[in-house]
Structure 1
Amino acid sequence: MKYHTVRETAKQWNLSDRTVQQFCIDGRIPGAQKFGRSWAIPADAEKPQVPRIVRKRDAAQSFATGMLDNANLMPLMNTPFPPGRCFASVEAMAPGPRRDIALAEYHYFTGKPEAAATEVESYLTSADMGARLSACLIYAYANLSIGEIQCAKFALKELNASLSAAGEQSAQFRTASAFVAVAGAVLLHLPLPAGVPDIQSFLPLLPPGLRAFALYVYAHYRYLQGDYAASAGIVEGALAMGAEAYPIPSIYLHLVAVMDCMSLKQADRARVHLLSAWDLARPDDLIEGFGEHHGLLGGMLEAVIKPAWPEDFKRIIDITYRFSAGWRKVHNPDTGHDVADNLTTTEFAASMLAARGWTNQEIADHMHISPNTVKRYISTALEKLHIRHRQDLKQFMLR
């Protein structure tokens, strides 16, 4: 029988060396043999299913036996660094789970979901709960953009399973589980999972960078409730208390402020927040959040980023199409909402503003296009959605 090395098999299966080695350790590759510290893998071995789908009860039990190291809970998100030093901050970390998770975060936030998913695969069943919870959150969102919806749903269920298992655990474990479970639900505009504590109750127990991101999640939650002024106030308070030392949470805080300001028809204020987010993101290419939030930003990317940074805008829109396609496949069936999936990003942006009561002239002035062009976008959207009236757009827009 012909055998391959771990590296050869990893390349053949498009996985990381570490993931293949973990498969061997777990006995998931029939015929794999260990020689010293290396493994020989049958050349015709079939790639195991990634991830290993487990029943919720089993997942909860396995979470209950793990140990939590907060240092490995979304470490890059919790790292202060000057703009332009993101990757250097990852490289400065000692080899091990913290660095591996941070590298996956870097891949994800720079718009490389395939690399992010590959980097965290081997941590999906880790006994280190900080690494495992981080891996599940990253894996869930990365797989939305890859189009691997079952993998994304698996990881989201694991996050909810961690919350179910947290009742008898330490306050630190409960806090970490609540943080990732709430982030997983709110950013997909899904109902909060059963058993989640009030967001404000676990904020003080989080380290500063994660607390800043949790405040973004809370602001996003208030935005979804239509409480735009309160949401904007949460952002302003977080930034005033030093959140900008942590670039990744700060980018997301500024983006939710853009959403609030556009909902309040405060376009000039929205522009300030968008450019603040862009100034933090651009030196390290932390572009993912802009693509994730495109539909909620009310045409601000078209108005601000597209004219000055056209190539970056194209990349953002590519992220938007990939992410939103996966997002809808989870969001629409789970909520019963019918967020549109057949509009261009510009048609969606114009329709989103129209659904919020903006006139064609207001949309035209904001997006730097003519009222006739706006009218054409809206008419095309109505035709694609098989509706006749402008007021009916709201049921197909993001909430």
Structure 2
Amino acid sequence: MDYMTVRQAAEKWNLSPRSVQQLCTQGRIPGAGKFGKTWAIPAEADKPEDQRRKKQADQAGAGMPFTMMPLMNTPFLPGQCRETVESMEDGPQKDMAWAEYYYFSAQAEQAAQAAEPYLTSPDLGLRLSACWIYGYANLTTGQIRKARRALETVQRTLADGKNLSPDLRAAVSFVAAGAAVLLHLPLPEGLPSTREFLPLLPNGLRAFALYVQAHSLYLREDYAKSVGMAEAALAMGAEAYPIPAIYLHLVAVMDYMRLRQLPQAQGHLLAAWTLARPDDLIEGFGKHHGLMGGMLESVFKGNWPEDLRRILDVTYRFSWGWRRIHNLDTGHDVADNLTTTEFAVAMLTAQGWTGREIAAHMNISPNTVKRHLAEIKKKLGISNRNELKQYMLR
């Protein structure tokens, strides 16, 4: 009989090696045997059924409602995020809410581990939620193959979902659009218009879908319409849902920076921080750093230096993985060898800011800006500002 290792089984079944070892120890893989400190697993062994998925299927058969990103879709007061999750009834919905909490609080490893058991869940909402969280968490941890596999599952589900009910189709469209836009990739083929699926989403998911739409408008350089959408969503109740509201505020920062309206940009950044800081929901700040044109450094450096350091760590970790997919799929060589400060200076320079304007905004001297620009040109092998644009986020 042919055998495979724990690692080979983990890759075959899309599990972690630790999960496979636990299954072996529990006797749930027929024919598996331990030799010394290692396990030998029959090469033809099937992936054991996840007990939580079995329980979930039983509940679904009894009429359990469709579940999608439960924490994102739950209103709570700032500072009560963990308490909100702990108060949920034990089961798949609570498990997924924990995965969300770990993800949005920049605990990528824990988020991936919590989401992994639901990657093949029979509940489509849980499966899509798990793919999204697992995919983006693995970008941060540098597990690019796992990230791509999860995000490609979302696209396949969209392509195969023509016969789904309208609410399930809306959920698939929501996740597929979000996965594409946040990677700055073209929207997938077969995606319904926002007008078709937006009304079918519950309030919290609808608010996040509006953020995704606003982000898409930003990428198309329609900054006024983008910020108008974000402002309208916040005015119409999105603030009650802290996770979508944080992201809506951050996209507004991006827009106002492009519109050169710095007081408004700063106001939205502080509003996002007021919602995020009590629960340490810092992931979104790290992911949007490059698009906020030095606003984080300008506001946080003197007020929350330790938080800024942690946010920039998120930026470095996520950006490395993000570029491994974005650059390959688009052919757009976004710079990956600049420091976060250099990247902010480069972004503002590419947008037409003068050295003195950058210096005043980032609270540094004009000579420091010049030194950063010299280092940027050296690292990228360019000689002028026009060449710089091809290396910056679009």
Which residue of 332, 336, 340 maps to 2:327? 332
Alignment CA distance shift 1:181-1:47 (3 Å): farther
Q: Is the 8 A contact 1:16 1:118 kept in 2?
A: no
Per the TM alignment, residue 390 of structure 1 is displaced from its structure 2 partner at its CA by 1.4
Which residue of 230, 244, 259 maps to 2:239? 244
User: Counterpart in 2 of 1:89?
Assistant: 84
Q: Residue deviations 1:11-68, cap 9 Å, x none?
A: xx67469x9459989x7x46359xxxxxx9995226999xx99xxxxxxxxxxxx999
Indicate yes or no: 2:258 matched with 1:279: no
Alignment CA distance shift 1:220-1:139 (3 Å): same
Indicate yes or no: 2:387 matched with 1:361: no
Which residue of 224, 229, 243 maps to 2:224? 229
Per the TM alignment, residue 80 of structure 1 is displaced from its structure 2 partner at its CA by 0.2
How many Å separate the matches in 2 of 1:229 and 1:303? Answer: 23
User: Counterpart in 2 of 1:213?
Assistant: 208
User: Counterpart in 1 of 2:125?
Assistant: 130
How many Å separate the matches in 2 of 1:273 and 1:397? Answer: 23
Q: Residue deviations 1:222-258, cap 9 Å, x none?
A: 0000000000000011001000000000000000000
Per the TM alignment, residue 391 of structure 1 is displaced from its structure 2 partner at its CA by 1.8
Q: Which amino acid in structure 1 is aligned with residue 39 of structure 2? A: A
Indicate yes or no: 2:33 matched with 1:44: no
Which residue of 304, 308, 317 maps to 1:313? 308
Normalised TM-score (structure 2): 0.87
User: Counterpart in 2 of 1:31?
Assistant: 31
Out of 67-76 and 340-349, give the one that drifted further: 67-76
Q: Which amino acid in structure 2 is aligned with residue 102 of structure 1? A: A
Alignment CA distance shift 1:217-1:263 (3 Å): same
Q: Is the 8 A contact 2:312 2:340 kept in 1?
A: yes
Q: Which amino acid in structure 1 is aligned with residue 263 of structure 2? A: D
SS where residue 166 of structure 1 aligns?
Answer: coil
User: Counterpart in 2 of 1:253?
Assistant: 248
How many Å separate the matches in 1 of 2:175 and 2:323? Answer: 20
How many Å separate the matches in 2 of 1:42 and 1:105? Answer: 38
How many Å separate the matches in 1 of 2:64 and 2:24? Answer: 20
User: Counterpart in 2 of 1:389?
Assistant: 384
SS where residue 161 of structure 2 aligns?
Answer: helix
User: Counterpart in 2 of 1:187?
Assistant: 182
User: Counterpart in 2 of 1:322?
Assistant: 317
User: Counterpart in 2 of 1:4?
Assistant: none
Alignment CA distance shift 1:22-1:110 (3 Å): farther
Which residue of 94, 99, 102 maps to 2:94? 99
How many Å separate the matches in 1 of 2:174 and 2:36? Answer: 41
User: Counterpart in 2 of 1:370?
Assistant: 365
How many Å separate the matches in 2 of 1:22 and 1:105? Answer: 28
Normalised TM-score (structure 1): 0.86
Q: Paired residues, what number?
A: 365
Per the TM alignment, residue 201 of structure 1 is displaced from its structure 2 partner at its CA by 1.8
Q: Structure 2 matches for 1:167-182, cutoff 5 A?
A: 167-182=162-177
**Could you list the runs of 5+ residues in structure 2 that have no partner in the other structure?**
1-9, 11-15, 48-59
Q: Is the 8 A contact 1:31 1:41 kept in 2?
A: no
How many Å separate the matches in 2 of 1:47 and 1:184? Answer: 35
Q: Residue deviations 1:300-347, cap 9 Å, x none?
A: 011001210000000000000000000000000000100000000000
How many Å separate the matches in 2 of 1:80 and 1:41? Answer: 51
Q: Is the 8 A contact 1:22 1:122 kept in 2?
A: no
User: Counterpart in 1 of 2:197?
Assistant: 202
Per the TM alignment, residue 200 of structure 1 is displaced from its structure 2 partner at its CA by 2.6
Q: Is the 8 A contact 2:74 2:241 kept in 1?
A: yes
Q: Residue deviations 1:249-297, cap 9 Å, x none?
A: 0000000000000011111110000000000000000000000000001
Q: Residue deviations 1:54-113, cap 9 Å, x none?
A: xxxxxxxxxxxx999765210000010000000000000111110000000000000100
User: Counterpart in 2 of 1:61?
Assistant: none
How many Å separate the matches in 1 of 2:35 and 2:220? Answer: 53
Which residue of 63, 71, 75 maps to 1:76? 71
